[in-house]
Amino acid sequence: MIEYFRNQNRFHAAEKSGNRQLEEPMDFSTHKPVRIFTGENCLSAHPEVFREAGRRALIVTGAHGADASGAVDDILSVLKQADCTYVRFNRIPENPPAPMCCEAGRIAREEGCDFIVAAGGGSALDAGKAIAGYAANPDCGPDDIFNDTVRTNPCLPIIAVPTTAGTGSEAVRYSVLTIDGGARKKTFKHPSAYPKASFVDPRYTYTLSDKYTASTALDALAHAVESYLSPKSCPASEEAALYAAREIWDILFRQNKTTGWTKEDRTRLSYAACAAGVAIDYTGTGFPHPLGYCLTLTRGTPHGEACAIFEGAYLSYNRLTDAGAARIDALAETIGATPDEMIERIPEKSGIHLTIGPEERESLIDRVAGAGNFANSPYVISRGEMSDIFARLFG
Domain 35-204 in CATH 3.40.50.300? The answer is: no
Residue 28's pLDDT is what?
56
Share of the chain above pLDDT 70, in %: 92
pLDDT in tens, 32-52: 899 999 999 999 999 999 999
- Amino acid making up residue 200: V
Q: Band of the pLDDT at 29, cuts 50, 70, 90?
A: low
pLDDT band at 62 (very low <50, low <70, confident <90, very high): very high
pLDDT digits 0-9 by tens, 187-246: 999 999 999 999 999 999 999 999 999 999 999 999 999 999 999 999 999 999 999 999
Single pTM value for the model: 0.92
User: What single-letter amino acid sits at 6?
Assistant: R
Nearest to 241 by CA among 253, 214, 223: 223
Non-local CB neighbours of 122 within 8 Å, separated by 6+ positions? 162, 164, 166, 167, 168, 169, 176, 219, 303
For the beta carbon of residue 354, count every other beta carbon within 10 angstroms.
13
Look at residue 31 in the predicted model and tell me its pLDDT. Answer: 72
User: Whole-angstrom Cα distance, residue 106 to residue 138?
Assistant: 7
Nearest 5°: phi and psi at 176? -95, 120
**In the chain, where does DSSP find H-type helix?**
2-7, 47-53, 65-69, 71-81, 98-110, 122-136, 210-229, 235-249, 263-283, 288-299, 303-318, 322-335, 339-350, 358-368, 383-394
Residue type, 283: T
210-394: which CATH architecture?
A: Up-down Bundle (1.20)
Q: Are 312 and 346 in contact (CB under 8 A)?
A: yes
Report the DSSP pairing between strands 197-200 and 35-38: parallel
- 3-class DSSP assignment, residue 178: strand
SS3 state at 349: helix
Q: What are the extents of the domains in the chain?
A: 35-204, 210-394
**254 backbone φψ class: left, alpha, beta (φ>0; ψ -120 to 50):** alpha
231-263 pLDDT per residue, tens: 999 999 999 999 999 999 999 999 998 899 999
* Cα–Cα distance, 292 to 313 (Å, whole number): 12
